[in-house]
Copies of this chain bind each other. A is one copy, B any other.
């Protein structure tokens, strides 16, 4: 199956070691450039305070099924982590939408490397989130 970039994410992070661990720790501002051909798809998006970005971890090669997360001292199953080295190397971040200018979205809370290929944008809405009690496995006690 083929996917193709619908834009490029511009950030101040030139390499992986510069990036924050997770977007909720970042207040970095980035620029999501959506290619002109998709610009009309951005109508109505500025009604949303937050959006979900799907992107390709383009600097990641291969994957391991067991990884030691940054926040942990033990190896964990890959799918219980958000590690970039995954079979399809797709990443997901929820960011705050500051302003739209034509085909460009200025966002806060971005944590990816400059030049990351954008794959999709979806609106963020708490009504799509679970209402039940949440358990977070190995992450428990490691994040606020």
Instruction: Assess whether A80 is interfacial by the CB under 8 Å rule.
Output: yes
Contact A65 B38 (CB under 8 A): yes
Main secondary structure of the interface of A (DSSP, over half): mixed
With a CB–CB cut-off of 8 A, which chain B residues contact A78? 38, 41
Instruction: Assess whether A13 is interfacial by the CB under 8 Å rule.
Output: no
Contact A4 B41 (CB under 8 A): no
From residue 15 to 45 of chain A, which have CB atoms closer than 8 A to chain B?
22-24, 34, 38, 40-45
From residue 25 to 84 of chain A, which have CB atoms closer than 8 A to chain B?
34, 38, 40-52, 54, 56, 65-66, 76-82
Given A87-B6, A139-B123, the answer on whether A128 and B77 have CB atoms closer than 8 Å is no
Instruction: Assess whether A122 is interfacial by the CB under 8 Å rule.
Output: yes
A-B contact pairs, 20 of them (CB 8 A): A1-B2, A1-B4, A24-B128, A34-B79, A40-B77, A41-B78, A42-B80, A43-B76, A43-B77, A43-B80, A44-B80, A45-B77, A45-B137, A49-B133, A54-B54, A79-B121, A79-B123, A92-B92, A125-B136, A129-B129
Interface residues of A (CB under 8 A from B): 1-6, 22-24, 34, 38, 40-52, 54, 56, 65-66, 76-82, 86-88, 90, 92, 94, 96, 109, 117, 119-140, 143-144
